Every structure is written in structure tokens, then in C-alpha cells.
Amino acid sequence: MDDRNSKKILANNIRHYMELHNKTRNEMCTALNVKYTTFTDWVNAKTYPRIERIEQIASYFGIETSVLLEDPLRLPSDAILYQERPSRPIPIIGAINCGVPLLAEDNIEGYHETSLQDITSGETYFWLRAKGNSMVNVGIHEGDLLLIRQQNDVDSGDIAVVSIDENDATLKRVIKKENALILQPENPAYETKIFIGEEINSVQIRGRLMKLEKRF
């Protein structure tokens, strides 16, 4: 493939993804920290960016670098190029009750492919299956998958997996007050638990809810 054709393919692909994401040239220049004239030369196929710039553009659109370099002419004119987002398997560890506290099973029952966009490198994650209906007012229902980031503290208002007296695990909204910790369900039919003073030490935070995947 000659240099002129490579420039044209790249330019066409950049314009395609700009239209797909409704991005202007000014927005692209700001995001990539490049001059307007430089970016214009790229999308007009006058110059070819360095490979690190191509990688930066691909990352901005959430696609692989190779997608920007491939000739899409084999596809129908109205086709949208699809590239599977990078992912890695995250273990599904039992169930978490959203009603009466229930200890989550320690055994791994399977793995769920999880987009790298949903996780942070260096952190530990696991999936749990929701049980019960105490969190229905925030859209959590029986069978839903819950992505949990393992951590021993959360901000007030976060939804978290918590254990009580090292025995039971449950999913509740954690609210912190002066000298008090509140485990709040999202269903008025369930009781809010309030721990005061030394009682707070009986509550251990296991992780923060990061994502919900519905299961119908």
C-alpha cells in the first residue's frame, strides 16, 4: 500500500469516527492537544501522523489502532465499523443478599468478561449476583450482576458490600454521620440499620458497587 493511499484510509476513518461520535475538529484538537492546522492536514490526507498520535486518536474513540489503519471499502457504505473492546475475565463469587444479610459464597462459580474501561489497573474486582429486593429503588433486582471493587472504606452515600460481625454480607447504601454509621436499604419495606459509637466496629466494608448489569 503506497503512502498516499495510507493517508487517505486513515483520514477517512478519522472522519468516520468523528461523525459517529459527533465530534468537531476543534474538539478533537483540544482533546489531542494538537494545532488545528495539523489535525486538518491529517483529515485531508495531506500528512500522516506519527504512530503515537494514531494510538492517541484510537484511544480517544475507544477502538484498536488497527481499526484506523484498515481499509473499510469492503464494507457497505452505511456500515459502522465494530471493534470488540479489550476486556478480561473477572470472577463471579456467589451471591449477595439485598434483604436479610446473607454470607456471600467464597467459591468462584464462573467468570464474566469485563471491559477494561470499567476497571482500574492494580485494583481487585469481583462480580456478585444480587438476591432479594431491598435495593429495588436504585434498579437492583434479583439475578442482576454487581461489579464490586474490593476496598475497606467508601464515601458516605456509596453503595457497598458490608459484613456485620465478620459473618454476614449484604449490599446497602452506607451513610456516615458523626459517631454513627447507617446501612440504608433502597426499599421502604426494609429496616435501616444504625450503628452508634463502638457498634461501628462491628461493620466491615468489603467493597464498593461500581457497575450494575441487568439480567432479565
134 included as an active-site residue: yes
C-alpha to C-alpha distance for 127 and 148, rounded to whole angstroms: 6
Choosing from 172, 177, 193, 202, the catalytic residue is: 172
From 92, 179, 189, select the one nearest 134 (Cα to Cα). Answer: 189
196: which strand partners?
Answer: 180
Q: What is the chain's percent helix, strand, coil content, to nearest 5?
A: 30, 30, 40
Identify the sign of the CA torsion 110, 153, 195, 212. negative
Selected catalytic residue, list 134, 176, 177, 193: 134
- On whether the CB atoms of residues 90 and 119 are closer than 8 A, the answer is yes
- Residue 82 CA to residue 65 CA, distance in Å, equals 13
Query: Looking at the annotation, which residues are catalytic?
Result: 134, 172
